[in-house]
Amino acid sequence: MNETENRTLEELFSAYSEGKRHFLNWDFDEDLSVKGKDLSDIFFENCFLFLDFRESKLNGAKFIGCNIKTADFRNSDLTNATINNCSVESTMFKGAKTDNLIFKENYCYGNIVGQKDFEELFKDSDEFYTIVRITNGFPNGDGIGNILTGEIIQGEINVNDLLLTSNGTEVPIVEVELINMVPKRQDFAITIPRKFDNAENWGKLFGTEFKIKKHYLQHRV
């Protein structure tokens, strides 16, 4: 069995230009871009692909057993492509050509999603947000910032994600602790920098819902 290997885009482009089409166990760093590239008939298998595929040509491409969570396929050409047995959380497809795209047995937040889900949920997907409900907010003594606690309604939270306040201020999240005390509920405690002490009245937000913008979207304008 081949071991997973971390690769560069330069290696990918070079191998593709030399005729290689099947890429097995190739992993790439986040926030890399193949925007506008012609990668027709490429076959990614068991790869980590947190890539910007916008406006790329992916005619006949295959993504099998890959982690494409957060990948951006907006305005790409996925005609006759296949996405099968992949993690597809927060992928974006708005504006993509998806004629004859096969989308089956993929995974999203613990659910198996298929062709019908693609047509209803993914095909026009643009920016994704996590939705949370705040239960409390309080200073963190000598810590690096204030702590907010609450429940995740939809999505997930990571360090560097941006909490959107009621007036549109983007508050960076610098620490995340996930808590599993209640069955079938995901609670959290997040830390935000002290300079945002006055962005909201954090102590009076019980039951208030907020959006959290995923950090990778900061680089996708």
Cα separation, 135 vs 161, whole angstroms: 19
- What is the tally of structural domains in the chain? 2
For residue 63, the model assigns a pLDDT of 98
Decide if pLDDT at 156 tops 60: yes
Q: How far is CA 44 from CA 65, 84, 212, in A?
A: 8, 11, 30
Cα separation, 76 vs 114, whole angstroms: 20
From 192, 150, 148, select the one nearest 170 (Cα to Cα). 192
| Distance separating the N- and C-terminal Cα atoms of the chain | 39
Domain assignment of residue 62, given as a range: 5-122
For residue 3, the model assigns a pLDDT of 66
Contact 31, 51 (CB under 8 A): no
Q: For 211, list phi and psi in degrees, rounded to 5.
A: -95, 145
User: Of 219 and 32, which is predicted with more confidence?
Assistant: 32
- What is the tens place of the pLDDT at every residue in 29-65? 877 899 999 999 999 999 999 899 999 999 999 999 9
Residue 140 belongs to domain with CATH number = 2.40.30.10
Same domain, 203 and 145: yes
Flag whether the pTM goes above 0.75: no
Mean pLDDT of the chain: 88
For residue 218, the 8-state DSSP code is G
Residue 92 belongs to domain with CATH number = 2.160.20.80
Structure tokens at 94: 């708005």
- What is the tens place of the pLDDT at every residue in 2-15? 566 789 999 999 99
